[in-house]
Structure 1
Amino acid sequence: MLAFLFGIFAGALLPVQTSVNTRLRLSVGAPLLASLISFAVGTLSLFVASWISSGHPLPNFSTTAGHPWWIFGGGALGVVVLTGNILLFPRVGSVQTVILPVAGQIFMGLLIDALGLFNAPQLNLSATRVAGALAVLLGALLVVGMIGRKREVATSADGGGQWLWRTFGLVMGACGATQTAVNGHLGTILGSAVGSALTSFSIGVLCLLVLVLLTRTPWRGVAKPSQGNNPWWMWSGGVLGATLVFANAFLAPTLGTGLTVVLTLSGMMAASLMIDVFGLLGSAKVKIRPTQLLGLLVIIIGVILIRLF
């Protein structure tokens, strides 16, 4: 039960991290720079956590000898998801930018469990687990407003181009679920979920640094907004992201990739609504709709179906 709640809590950190990193972006000026700073802060926090928990600042990588190369791929997969959101949003709109990766995550998670991919614990793909996954997807559609109101229209790409970007959104989600499984297996090999998260974040920092250099993104310093000062919490996104990656690495070997993904997504949807309703972290207040509450209920039902059957 504690693992169940921890997964939901970790997922709830994701929209908070998004809001925090969005505020950081206002000050540093570029999304990639904000992401790089966030990943660097997360890496530093995991470095300290690894030192405190194990007595050593770095994991014992000698245990990885003889294992496949892909155990170190979690960081690169995380960067694909992070950068993909930046690319996807202006082309398909905000709603589809949420829903497409969610769909990809859910069904890739179940596929990983069913086939035991990436050395994940193999779980039977029963009809009730599939029904639970569909319920979570339906609930997500209700929460983000794709059902029960006018569809969002994106005009930045042509019809054929949009379908390519939608496919990319599904692939992004699949990368997110794969990252959960890969980091979970690496944590088992290292004997430390913290060590796995630290490795993933370190590789992510290197990938983002390469992207910043390739795109020649200029560093303009940390600017202040026209009114007020930079809040201290805008630097905390990396710590929140590190907690989420640690949770995935810790939970996936025990609960399975599919359930871990669904739990974190459930927390994400619930926290997103809370941020909108109360206008937290500088966001505008948005009135909650009955269909969104219904969506949360449907998500809970879906989680129960996947967990108990």
Structure 2
Amino acid sequence: MLAILIGLIIGIGLPIQTSINSRLKFSVGSPLVASLISFSLGTLFLALITIFFDKSLFFSLNLFRKEPVWLWLGGLLGVIYLTSNILLFPKLGSVQTVIMPILGQIIMGLVIDNFGLFDSLVHPLNWSRIIGAILVIIGVVGAVSINQIILYRHKKFLPDRTNNFWYYRLIGIVVGMFSATQTAINGHLGIVLNSSVKAAFISFFVGTISLIVIVAIIHPRLSFQKSKENPWWLWLGGLIGALFVLGNVYLVPKIGTGLAVVIVLVGLIIGSLLIDQFGWFRSAKNPITFAQIVSLLIMIFGVVIIRLL
């Protein structure tokens, strides 16, 4: 029960982080620069936490020789996931930019569990887990799509439908699979280092270095618009992101990658609906509909099936 609660909380925090970083984007003029600031602050926070609990940021260099290369790639996969979503939005629209990666996350999470990839716990795939995953996907599609379908019908927003439309959908699924892989890798890294906080720090550190390189190439000259309109919570995105990674590192060894991914996704949708309902962090209010509530209940039922059957 504690693991499920942690998964829901960090999932709810993810859209909050997105809202904060979206506001930060207006101050720095670039989503990549906003992400870099968020990653950097998250890395600093995790460094302090790691020093407090583990007394050191360092680990034995023999791990580079003994452990596989993929153990250190979690942060890079996180950057790929983040950057790909930014690039896919104008091609797929907001609905499919959310749905396609979620589909990839659920598929890869169940595959990792079934085969014990990346030294994860083995949870054999059975019909109850498949049915539960399908219910979660149906709930996600309903919760995310209801309002956007109305916009599509009224032609208020249309994605760029080119001959490569299915190609972009496939990219969305693949980057979602990368996200689930990152969760599994970071979970195993926590076991190897015998420290969840140190594993989260390393993942964020790798992501920060990757973003520094990307931003240096794309935005060699940074600028920040000083304004009284910049609220104090503008700098909390990195903290929330750090807690998200830390939570996943804790969850994977406890409940497996597949269930961890599914529970976090349910929390993600709950957080998104709450932000829409109350307009938190200066977001536009979009009241929750009855259909979205039903979709959320379907998702929760799917999680219960995966967890208990």
- One fold, TM greater than 0.5? yes
Count of matched residue pairs: 305
Amino acid at match of 1:234: L
For the Cα contact (< 8 Å) 2:95–2:148, is it kept in 1?
Answer: no
Q: CA RMSD in A?
A: 1.6
**Secondary structure of the residue that 1:121 maps to in structure 2?**
coil
| Partner residue in 2 for 1:199 | 202
CA distance in 2, matches of 1:147, 1:85: 20
Q: CA deviation at 1:284?
A: 1.2
Shift of 1:146: 4.9
Q: Shift of residue 307 of structure 1?
A: 0.5
The whole-number CA distance in structure 1 between the counterparts of 2:28 and 2:190 is: 33
Label 1:125 to 1:57 Cα distance change in 2 as closer, same or farther (>3 A): same
Q: What are the within-5 Å matches in structure 2 for residues 1-309 of structure 1?
A: 1-63=1-63, 65-146=65-146, 149-150=149-150, 152=152, 154-158=158-162, 160-224=163-227, 228-309=228-309
Greater Cα shift, 55-64 or 87-96: 55-64
CA–CA distance in structure 1, aligned partners of residues 139 and 160 of structure 2: 27
Shift of 1:217: 4.5
**1:58, CA displacement in angstroms?**
3.5
Q: Per-residue deviation at 1:147?
A: 8.8
> 1:214 Cα deviation (Å)?
1.7
Return 5+ residue gaps in structure 1 as ranges: none
8 Å Cα contact 1:51-1:58 kept in structure 2: no
Give distance in 1, aligned partners of 2:149 and 2:86.
25
The answer to whether the 8 Å contact 1:64/1:189 transfers is no
Identity of aligned residues (%): 44
> Which deviates further from its counterpart, 170-179 or 145-154?
145-154
Q: CA deviation at 1:157?
A: 4.1
Distance 2:186 2:57 in 1: 18
Instruction: Return the alpha-carbon distance in structure 1 between the equivalents of residues 198 and 281 of structure 2.
Output: 30
SS at match of 1:52: helix
Q: Give me the whole-angstrom Cα distance separating, in 2, the residues matched to 1:278 and 1:201.
A: 30
Structure 1 residue 162, shift from structure 2 partner: 1.0
In the alignment, the residues of structure 2 paired with residue 146 and residue 97 of structure 1 have an alpha-carbon distance, to the nearest angstrom, of: 15
Report the Cα distance in structure 2 between the residues aligned to 1:146 and 1:116, rounded to whole angstroms: 36
In structure 2, the residue corresponding to 1:286 is in which secondary structure?
coil
With over 3 angstroms needed to count, the CA separation of the structure-2 counterparts of 1:155 and 1:141, relative to structure 1, is closer
Deviation at 1:145, TM superposition (A): 1.9
Q: Which runs of 4+ in 1 moved over 6 A?
A: none
* Equivalent AA in structure 2 for residue 173 of structure 1: G
TM-score with structure 2 length normalisation? 0.95
* Whole-angstrom distance in 2 between the partners of 1:11 and 1:35: 18
Query: 1 CA distance for matches of 2:91 and 2:149?
Result: 20
Contact 1:88 1:97 in 2 (8 A): yes
CA spacing shift, 1:289–1:61, aligned 2, 3 Å:
farther
Q: Mark the CA change 1:259 to 1:61 in structure 2 (over 3 Å): closer, same or farther.
A: farther
User: Helix, strand or coil: the match of 1:58?
Assistant: coil
Cα distance in 2 for residues equivalent to 1:219 and 1:145:
36
Letter in 2 for 1:213: A
For residues 230-268 of structure 1, the C-alpha deviation after alignment (integer angstroms, 9 at most, x for no partner) is 101111101100101011111101100000000100100
**Cα distance in structure 2, aligned partners of 1:135 and 1:42:** 34
